[in-house]
């Protein structure tokens, strides 16, 4: 069994795919703050965050992971760990197959060419869990059932399920270590809203539940956990050195508390409480209707809207993470407000 008693000592070389994306940029910054060298893989080298060209600790690699030629572009010599954050949040099954699954295959092929494959940290999502298998007020943790009816979910969920399976099967063949981080709804500057509240219509939002927790993950906590996931070895298990962690904040608000914070932005102006059970009932009646929106598909509705709870004990223990800021503190920072009670930042 591998040593998991603490973080890896000394600086590492971490290759980060999707490095110019929202999560990728934060991971690059967190890696540099912890003294690691970064190989930043981007689709277009001319479109990178300010300051990267001034940092000798960031090496740029231009590669389209969906193209087979990217296998040769991804030189793993000297790379200790890989954060695979490149993926599409939107798009149909064809787009997801190209951008998410083909990209993962090509990355894994590049890793397989290394004498010692680097540790792989795969950015996944709590969207892979089945909401239909949970009762209201149930607990979602790493032992919860994965979605059994992916055809009733969106293309993103299907791609993440397939991506996790692809990564696990490949790591079992080539050796190495895999740590899957299933991210909650990532929020931060310029990214406050999430899909766990209800639909919005102009200034109005339908709040489909009040209780339970929203599975949030502030971008700063997300980035720190990703780097710690690179630093901490993965213990051997029955299926090899594979670890799965839900990346969720300590302090998770319910929908009412979240909307109270969101009101400081000036939107929504009107919140109408409507029980998710009404849509659950309607989705059962309309199960025959093709092309239904997510709110009228039970698998999607229950995964997002029924009241659930999301502990992060395994994450905190495995990655040796300390206390995280409160939700109000993180939301205020995301709005550019120092004091959570400071109303001058309303817009």
Q: What is the pLDDT, as a whole number, of residue 343?
A: 39
Bridge partners (DSSP) of residue 182 are 124, 246
Q: Using an 8 Å Cβ cutoff, are 97 and 154 in contact?
A: no
Reply yes or no on whether the pLDDT at 166 is more than 80. Answer: yes
From the number of C-beta atoms within 10 Å of its C-beta (0-12, 13-18, 19+), residue 92 rates as exposed
Reply yes or no on whether the pLDDT at 71 is more than 50. Answer: yes
Mean pLDDT for 52-81 is 96
Which of 88, 118, 113 is CA-nearest to residue 18? 88
Q: Does domain 13-194+214-250+309-337+340-344 have CATH number 3.40.50.1820?
A: no
Which of 81, 96, 114 is CA-nearest to residue 166? 96
Q: How far apart are CA 342 and CA 282, in angstroms?
A: 42
| Tens-place pLDDT, residues 24-40 | 999 999 999 999 999 99
Starting at the edge strand that comes first in sequence, how are the strands of the sheet with 81-84 ordered? 58-62, 37-42, 13-17, 81-84, 119-125, 177-183, 241-247
Query: For the chain, what is the mean pLDDT?
Result: 93
| Tens-place pLDDT, residues 73-105 | 999 999 999 999 998 888 999 999 999 999 999
| Tens-place pLDDT, residues 244-254 | 999 999 999 99
Which of 81, 88, 93 is CA-nearest to residue 65? 88
Q: What is the pLDDT, as a whole number, of residue 200?
A: 94
Mean pLDDT for 141-158 is 95
| Tens-place pLDDT, residues 297-335 | 999 999 999 999 999 999 999 999 999 999 999 999 999
Q: What is the pLDDT, as a whole number, of residue 59?
A: 97
Reply yes or no on whether the pLDDT at 345 is more than 50. Answer: no
Q: Angle at the Cα of 119 (from 117 to 120), degrees rounded to 5?
A: 105
């Amino acid at each position: 069994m591998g040593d998991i008693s603490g973080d890896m000592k000394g600086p590492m070389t971490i290759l980060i795919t999707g490095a110019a994306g929202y999560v990728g940029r934060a991971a690059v910054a967190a890696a540099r703050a912890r003294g690691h060298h970064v190989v930043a893989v981007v689709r277009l080298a001319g479109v990178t965050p300010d300051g990267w060209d001034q940092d000798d600790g960031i090496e740029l690699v231009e590669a389209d992971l969906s193209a087979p030629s990217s296998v040769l572009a991804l030189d793993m010599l000297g790379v200790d760990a890989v954060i695979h954050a490149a993926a599409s949040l939107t798009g149909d099954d064809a787009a997801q197959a190209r951008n998410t699954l083909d990209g993962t295959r090509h990355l894994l092929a590049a890793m397989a060419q290394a004498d010692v494959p680097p540790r792989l940290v795969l950015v996944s999502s709590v969207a892979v869990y089945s909401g239909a298998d949970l009762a209201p007020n149930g607990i979602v943790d790493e032992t919860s059932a994965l979605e059994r009816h992916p055809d009733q979910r969106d293309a993103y969920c299907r791609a993440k399920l397939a991506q996790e399976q692809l990564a696990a099967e490949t790591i079992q063949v080539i050796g190495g270590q895999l740590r899957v981080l299933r991210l909650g709804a990532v929020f931060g500057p310029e990214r406050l809203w999430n899909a766990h509240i209800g639909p919005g219509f102009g200034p109005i939002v339908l709040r489909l539940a009040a209780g339970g927790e929203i599975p949030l993950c502030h971008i700063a906590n997300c980035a720190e956990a990703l780097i710690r996931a690179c630093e901490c070895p993965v213990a051997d298990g029955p299926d090899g050195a594979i670890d799965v962690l839900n990346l969720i904040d300590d302090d998770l608000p319910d929908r009412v508390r979240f909307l109270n914070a969101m009101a400081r932005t000036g939107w929504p102006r009107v919140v109408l409480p409507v029980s998710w059970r009404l849509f659950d009932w309607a989705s059962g009646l309309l199960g025959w209707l093709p092309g239904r929106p997510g709110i009228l598909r039970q698998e999607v509705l229950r995964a997002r809207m029924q009241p659930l709870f999301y502990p992060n004990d395994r994450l905190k223990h495995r990655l040796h993470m300390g206390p995280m800021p409160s939700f109000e503190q993180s939301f205020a920072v995301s709005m550019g407000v120092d004091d959570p009670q400071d109303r001058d930042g309303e817009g």
